[in-house]
């Protein structure tokens, strides 16, 4: 850390107040939003971790458990339990080598995609509730600031996403080839 950064740390330490602490506010917001979301999703038979899995898999079909754990940041026990449950209820399909669990590829079934579409408006409602009164420009600025924070904490973030997206393009192309050969 440079001198300027160290001065920043000293100043912020001296003036620390929990109500101004950004990460405290993050947890305050997330916990209130998740609490509201649990109630909204219960009638649809989907938990908050399941929603997060649906949201990631609908954009990242074919990802492994490792990738899914990295992207959702759900702890492994909860994630494994949720995926087992979603496979049982027919929302998630697992493809690959049963001997090598790391190579198993996850994707949404038609029922899973349908569940995502049914859940999404409930989630978006909570987003809108949280961001009530924010103009379009304020929302865009706010998102840009969050992206800056992610990149500050994880310099490899964009690179990893790009690698993943390239992998996804290859997977889609392969799926198409397989379908052509099968028909």
Minimum CB separation of residue 63 from its own copies in Å reads: 12
By CB atoms closer than 10 A (0-12, 13-18, 19+), residue 173 is exposed
- Phi, psi torsion values for 105, nearest 5 degrees: -105, 135
Q: Which stretch binds its own copies (CB under 8 A): 76-84, 100-108, 137-145, 168-176?
A: 137-145
**Residue 139 corresponds to which tokens in the numbers above?**
């929302």
CA quadruple 153, 158, 160, 164: dihedral positive or negative?
Answer: positive
Q: How far is the CB of 70 from its own copies (least distance, A)?
A: 9
Among the listed ranges 83-91, 93-101, 124-132, 175-183, the one in contact with its own copies (CB under 8 A) is 124-132
Q: C-beta of 18: minimal distance to its own copies in Å?
A: 5
- Told to check if 137 binds its own copies by CB under 8 A, we report no
Q: Does 135 bind its own copies (CB under 8 A)?
A: no
Q: Under a CB-based contact definition with an 8 Å cutoff, are residues 90 and 50 in contact?
A: no
Q: What is the C-alpha separation between 43 and 37, in angstroms, rounded?
A: 11
Q: Is residue 124 involved in binding its own copies (CB under 8 A)?
A: yes
Q: Per CB under 8 A, does 127 bind its own copies?
A: yes
Distances 115 to 44, 56, 91, 131 between C-alpha atoms, Å? 8, 13, 8, 25
Range 26-55, binding its own copies (CB under 8 A)? 26-33, 36, 52, 55
Residue 114: half-sphere exposure toward Cβ, Cα within 13 Å: 8
Residues lying near its own copies in the complex (CB under 8 A):
1, 5, 8-9, 12-13, 16-33, 36, 52, 55-56, 59, 72-73, 120-121, 124-125, 127-134, 138, 141-143, 145-150, 152-154, 157, 161
């Amino acid at each position: 850390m440079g001198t300027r950064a160290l001065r920043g740390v000293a100043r912020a330490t001296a003036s620390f107040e929990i109500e101004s602490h950004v990460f405290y506010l993050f947890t305050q917001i997330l916990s209130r939003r998740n609490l509201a979301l649990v109630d909204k999703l219960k009638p649809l038979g989907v938990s908050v971790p399941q929603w997060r899995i649906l949201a990631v898999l609908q954009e990242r079909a074919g990802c492994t458990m490792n990738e899914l754990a990295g992207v959702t940041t759900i702890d492994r026990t909860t994630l494994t339990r949720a995926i087992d449950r979603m496979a049982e209820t027919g929302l998630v399909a697992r493809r690959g080598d049963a001997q090598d669990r790391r190579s198993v590829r996850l994707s949404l079934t038609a029922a899973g995609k349908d569940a995502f579409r049914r859940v999404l408006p409930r989630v978006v409602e909570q987003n809108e509730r949280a961001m009530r009164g924010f103009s379009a420009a304020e929302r865009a600025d706010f998102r840009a600031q969050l992206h800056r924070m992610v990149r500050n904490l994880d310099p490899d973030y964009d690179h990893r996403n790009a690698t993943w997206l390239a992998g996804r393009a290859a997977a889609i192309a392969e799926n198409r080839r397989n379908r052509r050969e099968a028909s």
